[in-house]
Amino acid sequence: MKNTADITVLGAGSYGTALAISLASNGHKTLLWGHDPEHIENLKRDRANEAFLPGIALPDLLIPESDLATALAASNNVLVVVPSHVFGQVLKQAKPLLRHDARIVWATKGLEPETGRLLQEVAREVLGEQYPLAVLSGPTFAKELAAGMPTAISVAGTDDTFTNDLVELLHSPSRLRVYANDDFIGLQLGGAVKNVIAISAGMSDGIGFGANARTALITRGLVELTRLGEAIGAQGSTFMGMAGLGDLVLTCTDNQSRNRRFGLALGQGKDVDTAQAEIGQVVEGYRNTKEVYTLAKRLGVEMPITEQVYRVLYQGGTPHEAAKALLGREKKSETAESD
Closest CA to 49 of 8, 10, 78, 12: 12
Q: Determine contact, residues 49/12, Cβ cutoff 8 Å.
A: yes
Q: Is residue 17 part of the contact set for ligand 13P (CB under 6 A)?
A: no
Distance CA 152, CA 70 (A): 31
Q: Is 138 annotated as a binding residue?
A: yes
Whichever of 132 and 139 has its CB closer to ligand 13P, that residue is 139
Q: Is 257 annotated as a binding residue?
A: yes
Give the residue with the Cβ less far from ligand NDP, 258 or 326: 258
Work out whether 267 is an interface residue with ligand NDP (CB under 6 A): no
Q: Give percent helix, percent strand, percent coil of the chain, each to the nearest 5.
A: 55, 10, 35
Sole binder of ligand 13P in the list 112, 205, 284, 291 (CB under 6 A): 284
- Whether the Cβ atoms of residue 234 and residue 256 lie closer than 8 Å to each other: no
76 versus 204: smaller Cβ distance to ligand 13P = 204
Stretch that binds ligand 13P, among 38-46, 63-71, 243-251, 323-331 (CB under 6 A): 243-251
| 108 in a labelled binding site | no
Question: Should residue 239 be labelled a site residue for ligand 13P when binding is judged by CB under 6 A?
Answer: no
**Cβ distance to ligand NDP smaller for residue 224 or 247:** 247
Interaction between residue 229 and ligand NDP (CB under 6 A): no
- Indicate which residue of 2, 44, 143, 194 is catalytic: 194
Question: Which residue stretch of 6-14, 23-31, 125-133, 305-313 sits at the interface with ligand NDP (rule: CB under 6 A)?
Answer: 6-14
The rounded distance, in Å, linking the Cα atoms of 319 and 316 is 10
- Picked from ligand 13P, ligand NDP, none, the partner binding residue 139 (CB below 5 to 8 A depending on kind) is ligand 13P
- 109 is known to lie in a ligand binding site: yes
Q: How far apart are the first and last CA of the chain?
A: 53
Residue number of the CB atom closest to ligand NDP: 13
CA angle 52, 55, 58 (to 5 degrees): 80
156 vs 162: CA distance, rounded Å: 9
Sheet of 7-10, strands arranged across: 62-65, 30-33, 7-10, 77-80, 103-106, 133-137, 151-157, 176-180
The question of whether 194 is a catalytic residue gets the answer yes
Q: For ligand NDP, which stretch binds (CB under 6 A), given 77-85, 94-102, 174-182, 262-270?
A: 77-85
| Binding partner of 14, given ligand NDP, ligand 13P, none, CB within 5-8 angstroms per partner class | ligand NDP
> Does 258 help bind ligand 13P (rule: CB under 6 A)?
yes
For 300, the 3-state DSSP assignment is coil
258: annotated binding-site residue?
Answer: yes
Q: Is 147 in the site for ligand NDP (CB under 6 A)?
A: no
> Tell me, what DSSP letter sits at residue 59?
P
Residue 10: CA count within 13 A, CB half-sphere? 34
DSSP letter assigned to residue 6: S
The least CB distance from residue 178 to ligand 13P, in Å, is 14
**Choice from 48, 72, 119, 142 touching ligand NDP (CB under 6 A):** 142
Check the annotation: does 15 bind a ligand: yes
257 binding ligand 13P? (CB under 6 A) = yes
CA distances from 131 to 78, 134, 181 (A): 11, 10, 19
Which residues have C-beta within 8 Å of that of residue 227, sequence separation ≥ 6? 301, 302, 303, 338, 339
- Which parts of this chain interact with ligand 13P (CB under 6 A)? 109, 139-141, 198, 247, 250-251, 257-259, 284
Residues with catalytic annotation?
A: 194
